[in-house]
Amino acid sequence: MAGPRSELGPHVPLERTDPLRPAASASRELAHSEGSADALSYQQLVRSRRDRPTEGWRGAVYTMTRGRLNPGLSPPEADRRQKIARVQAQLAGWHTITVASMKGGIGKTTVSALLGLVLAEYRGDRVVALDANPDAGTLADRVLGHPVLYTVRDLITNLHTIHSLTDITRYTSLAGRLQVLASEQDPAMSESFNRDEYEQVTAVLKRFYNIIITDSGTGLIHSAMAGALEATRTLVIVGAPTVDGGSRASKTLDWLNAHGYDDLVSNAVVALSCDRFSRDIDRSAVIDHFAARCRAVVEIPEDPHLATGGLIQLDHLRERTRDAALTLGAYVADQFSWNHARSYSAAHHDGGRG
Q: pLDDT band for 42, please (50, 70, 90 cuts).
A: low
Angle at 153 between CA 148 and CA 154, to 5 degrees: 70
- Percent of the chain exceeding pLDDT 70 equals 74
Q: What is the mean pLDDT of residues 335-343?
A: 62
The pLDDT score that the predictor gives to residue 18 is 43
List, as own/partner pairs, every contact residues 254-261 make where C-beta atoms lie below 8 angstroms and the sequence separation is at least 24, other chains included.
255/102, 255/220, 256/220, 256/229, 259/353, 259/354, 260/350, 260/351, 260/352, 260/353, 260/354, 261/229, 261/235, 261/353
The pLDDT score that the predictor gives to residue 77 is 79
| Domains of the chain with bracketed CATH | 49-64+72-87 (no CATH), 89-348 (3.40.50.300)
b/e sequence 336-354, b meaning 16+ C-beta within 10 Å: beebeeeebeeebeeeeee
Coil, strand or helix at 160: helix
The pLDDT score that the predictor gives to residue 272 is 95
pLDDT tens per residue across span 11-24: 434 333 344 444 44
Q: In whole angstroms, how far apart are CA 80 and each of 147, 305, 330?
A: 34, 21, 10
Burial of residue 255, with CB atoms counted within 10 A of its CB: 0-12 exposed, 13-18 middle, 19 or more buried: middle
Backbone φ, ψ for residue 178 (5° rounding):
-95, 130
Cβ 332 vs Cβ 214: under 8 Å = no
Average pLDDT in the chain? 80
Q: What is the mean pLDDT of residues 119-133?
A: 93
Q: pLDDT band for 189, please (50, 70, 90 cuts).
A: low
pLDDT tens per residue across span 201-229: 999 999 999 999 999 876 666 667 888 88
Residue 156 in this model has a pLDDT that exceeds 80? yes
**How are strands ordered across the β-sheet holding 173-175?**
173-175, 178-181, 127-131, 211-215, 95-100, 234-239, 269-273, 296-300
Backbone φ, ψ for residue 124 (5° rounding):
-100, -5
In this structure, of 58-67, 78-87, 127-136, the range with the lowest mean pLDDT score is: 58-67
**Gap between the Cα atoms of 228 and 150, Å rounded:** 21
